[in-house]
Amino acid sequence: MGVTCITVTYGPTPSLSRTVESLVRHACPPSQDIVVVTQPDADGHREDVGNLADHVRHIRLNENLGFGPANNLAVAECDSEFVAFVNPDLVVSEGWLDPLLRALEDPVVAIAAPPLLDGEGRLAEAGQAIFSDGGTEAMGGSHWPDGYDSVMIARDVDYASAACWVMRRETFLSLGGFDVRYAPAYFEDSDLAMAAWSRGLVSRLVVDRPVVHHHVAASEHRNSLARASRAAFEQKWADQLPKQPERSPRGFDGRTVRDHRAVRRIVHLFEGVADSPQMALAAEAAAAEASRSPRDRVTLVVPCGPTVGRLRREHRVAGLEVLAVESVRRADVSWATEVRNVGR
């Protein structure tokens, strides 16, 4: 089982060595290969990878093809079973890769991605939402209406930023790779995720091991590129975007947007004693259901108590949301498609 980690640069990229060092430090056994594609900027400058020669395979391009085409070229030149797309401003942590590979054991999962933390350790993204107007929003980011615990659960998402993706190489190729119409950059990741959804495949957020994305604010030039790519995205997916959630000037409901692709929204209401052994058993049962039914949203509603945080941490990787309320009996679960009373 081979994995090729692909990093594409544009012009001088001082953060590249930090990214490669983290990949080397936390590599799987010798099955991991690292490919760096360097592209010159408008002045002909590029990152020097000479000091990384012992760790990477270098593909040197004579012109800037753009993020998507450069990644496509690298995938075409490797023969591994899996490919990991890793931005050159990313730092991975110990154990980052194995949970993503396990997620791809589900044949419906085309893309597996971790949450992204900013350089200060704050949650920047736990998946992305695509709205009917073609715009996107990072779940858990500064503009997301709900808190950390509402998004830090394993689940299917509209897409996740390709700052860190893992895919089967054959799946990437079968989807046509990154669409070159978005070159040089932006919206190629949301486009490929939409292509996967159109074929009955999903993007999966895997919360076991977040990674750090040292993302910097985009320049006006990059913003103009993003606007052009968004226009191309809206045109290509004009028939599908109306099915996405709407965003009004007053904002949007985070739960509705988060769960709009869920097949079912199942709620377990635990009306027993807070922090009791029975509550822990109810959480285990609900987590088992979430693991068996990854296309559903499974939520356990429990009384507030000191063990709620531990239950969240234990079961978020299975896809279980643990929601704590003052009164389970009076909890508003009108958004659920199925409600079950447990642990009375």
Q: What is the CATH number of domain 262-342?
A: 3.40.50
Per-residue pLDDT at 221: 83
Tens-place pLDDT, residues 214-259:
987 778 888 999 999 999 999 999 999 999 999 988 889 999 999 9
Residue 32 binned pLDDT confidence (cut-offs 50, 70, 90): confident
Predicted TM-score (pTM) of the model is: 0.95
Instruction: Give every CB contact of residue 2 below 8 A, 6+ residues apart in sequence.
Output: 31, 32, 33, 79, 80, 81, 82
R_g over Cα of the chain: 21
Upper half-sphere CA count for residue 4 (Cβ side, 13 Å) = 24
340 pLDDT exceeds 90? Answer: yes
What pLDDT shows up at residue 95?
Answer: 93
pLDDT 10s digits, 282-332: 999 999 999 999 999 999 999 999 999 999 999 999 999 999 999 999 999
The overall longest dimension of the chain from CA atoms, in Å, is 70
pLDDT of residue 82: 96
CATH class of 3-243: alpha beta
**To 10 degrees, the CA torsion angle through 68, 72, 75, 81?**
80
In the beta sheet, which residues pair with residue 116?
125, 211
Position 29 scores a pLDDT of: 59
Going by pLDDT thresholds of 50, 70 and 90, the confidence category of residue 31 is low
- Judged against a pLDDT cut of 60, whether residue 30 lies above it is answered with no
Q: Give pLDDT, residue 170.
A: 98
Buried b (16+ CB within 10 A) or exposed e, 246-263: eeeeeebebbebbbebbe
Residue 59 β-bridge partners: 37
CA dihedral defined by 97, 77, 160, 181, rounded to 10 degrees? Answer: 170
Comma-separated ranges of CATH 3.90.550.10 domains in the chain: 3-243
**Among the ranges given (23-32, 96-105, 232-241, 279-288), the one the predictor scored with the smallest mean pLDDT:** 23-32
What pLDDT score was predicted for residue 248? Answer: 83
Segment 41-50 mean pLDDT: 91
